[in-house]
Amino acid sequence: MLLHLVPFLLSTSLLACGSVPESQSVQDLPPALFQYPGAPFEAKNGDLWFSSVGAGLVRFDGENFVTFTTKDGLAADMIRSIVEDEEGRLLFATTAGVSRYDGESFTTLLDYEDMPVTRTFSEGGHHRDVWDLHFDRHGTLWITTLAGIFRHDGQKFAAFLLPVEGAPGRFEFTPRFVYSIHEAKDGALWFGTDGAGAVRYDGEAMEVYTAKEHGLASDRVCTILEDGRGDVWFGTSDGGVSRYDGTRFTTHLRSAAPSRHTGWGRYMAIHEDRAGNVWFGASMEGGGVHRWDGESFRYFSVKEGLNQSGIPSIREGRSGTLWVGTVDGVFRLEGERFVPMTK
């Protein structure tokens, strides 16, 4: 555990408006805040948690930054998702399993690794490579991995099999890889897969939505969100964004020309703010975010203060501050401009 002492002024500055005061040197901040940091997750106690790619976790408690890595018991130093349970324990999706933090120490949850469903991928450890976590309205923990989905009802783990897998040539990692999970207002769960489209589970039956059959922008679905208007948005890995109004899919934010690495547009982050605007983080050349107000999109990039790197995460704090995590820094929205956390 690495402690970074900061002036008390930072307590009111960062938590209130999301900035580092002039008296705080950027060089004194944790390196993880500049290594593909995620937009901060605000815990119930007010602590801000920043994920990173390869540099562990950073916690800001209002006075100090503290960095946690595998040396402190974290399963891996690459973190993709953060959730909090009813008891205030934090769970982190890492490349080596689920880490749970009780305020004092980390525990790695790997009770599901010997299940038959993971046997095909056990040599590569794909079941340990966790991408998303979600507690549903019943308190069940859902875990999406490179080897499929697992759930924990508070007593035991169980594998959850989807009715489809990515067809050869249509998936990037594994045929059972599930990027994300989202719970709709009606309680249905949506799963975004790598090459098999989007799957909706209402508690009894599952429906599969694909590009070929339903008009989904791509069958590689990175993230899903239902907005306040009832539209369901799908950010894809190589086809832009899809909006589903309950009847049909409409494609948005598709690039004018395909890219070698991100196809027709990769969107890993979607967030609806308290005003009802929906934000989309572009994880492709040029980066930037798009804001949907219900009628049209507005693009925010370098001109509005952002850098040109990809944006894998967007979150909103309790005070209403909108945070954006980029490849090499965290930004907050002030009015119609984005400002680096270090300013």
Residue, of 167 and 319, whose pLDDT is higher: 319
Helical segments of 89-237, H only? 211-214
Percent of all residues in the chain with a pLDDT value above 90, rounded to a whole number: 63
CA 15 – CA 12 distance, rounded (Å) = 6
- Under the banding of pLDDT at 50, 70 and 90, the label for residue 115 is low
Report pLDDT for 307: 87
The lowest-confidence range among 101-115, 153-167, 202-216, 323-337 is 101-115
Please compute the mean of the pLDDT values over residues 115-123 and round it to a whole number: 45
CA 30 to chain centre: 21
- Averaged pLDDT for residues 78-101: 95
- What CA–CA distance (Å, rounded) separates 95 from 337? 34
Q: At 258, is the pLDDT very low, low, confident or very high (cuts 50, 70, 90)?
A: confident
The pLDDT of residue 259 is: 76
The predicted pLDDT at position 112 comes to 59
Mean pLDDT of 331-343: 90
Q: For residue 94, is pLDDT > 50?
A: yes
Residue-level pLDDT at 109: 83
- For the chain, what is the mean pLDDT? 86
Entry pTM: 0.88
Chain-centroid distance, C-alpha 326: 12
Residue pointed to by tokens 């001109």: 303
| CA-based torsion, 237, 231, 182, 213: positive or negative | negative
- How much is the pLDDT for 25? 43
pLDDT in tens, 282-294: 987 678 999 999 9
Q: State the average pLDDT over residues 307-325.
A: 92
pLDDT at 27 over 70: no
| Amino acid identity, position 305 | G
What is the token pair recorded at 47?
Answer: 């602590």
Residue 323's beta-bridge partner residues?
315, 332
Three-state SS letters, 64-96: EEEEECHHHCCCCCEEEEEEECCCCCEEEEEEC
Alpha helices in the chain (DSSP H): 9-17, 211-214
Q: Which of 34-38, 103-107, 296-300 has the lowest mean pLDDT?
A: 34-38
The predicted-structure confidence for 36-50, as pLDDT tens digits, reads as follows: 788 999 999 999 999
pLDDT at 14 over 70: no
